[in-house]
Amino acid sequence: MAMSVEIKNKKAAFSYFLTDSYTAGIQLRGTEIKSIRGGKASIMEAYCKFEGDEFFIFNMHIDAYGNAGYVTHEPRRIRKLLMKRTELNKLQRKLRDVGVTVVPTRLFISSSGYAKLDIAIAKGKKLVDKRHTIKDRDQARELDRRG
């Protein structure tokens, strides 16, 4: 495919220590894929969790498709993530730890045309860690200006 869509969650890397990363498919309905291909989606406030043995993404926003007519989708509905059972079992074991969550980091269209979501195991940063991240980013920017 000629066009590529990549929607990133920049807030995730700032707010969390990201460890393991996985790629999951998303179960979509109707015009949702057309909105994603148009770049009309947001994963900034989204989070993932298990309900029973199935894995879902909550609070992911996909705008309504403009040319959909009267059949549209709900922008913030719960969507099922599609992963292999072995990966889901690994995630369930890692989520048993206190203070660990799963956050989406990137939404993209694969080479085969399907919408995919990169997710990562995350542990929350404290205020001191966030300040350190800002300091490192400012120092790197200053070095780029000089050199």
Domain boundaries, the chain: 6-146
Q: How confident is the model at residue 4 (pLDDT cuts 50, 70, 90)?
A: confident
pTM beyond 0.85: no
How many CB atoms within 10 Å of residue 126? 8
Higher pLDDT, 72 or 133: 133
Fold that domain 6-146 belongs to in CATH = Small Protein B; Chain: A; (2.40.280)
Band the pLDDT of 3: cuts 50, 70, 90: low
**Which pLDDT tens digit goes with each residue over 31-86?**
898 899 989 999 999 999 999 999 999 999 999 888 877 777 888 999 999 999 99
Structure tokens belonging to residue 97:
């730890």
Residue type for position 58: F
Q: What pLDDT score was predicted for residue 1?
A: 44
DSSP letters, 52-72, are TTEEEEES-EEPPPTT-TT--
Q: List the beta bridge partners of residue 94.
A: none
The C-alpha atoms of residue 125 and residue 122 are separated, in whole angstroms, by 9
DSSP string covering 59-113, please?
S-EEPPPTT-TT----TT--EEEE--HHHHHHHHHHTTSTTEEEEEEEEEE-TTS
What percentage of the chain carries pLDDT values higher than 90? Answer: 64
* Cα gap 34→22, rounded to integer Å: 24
Q: In this model, does residue 2 exceed pLDDT 90?
A: no
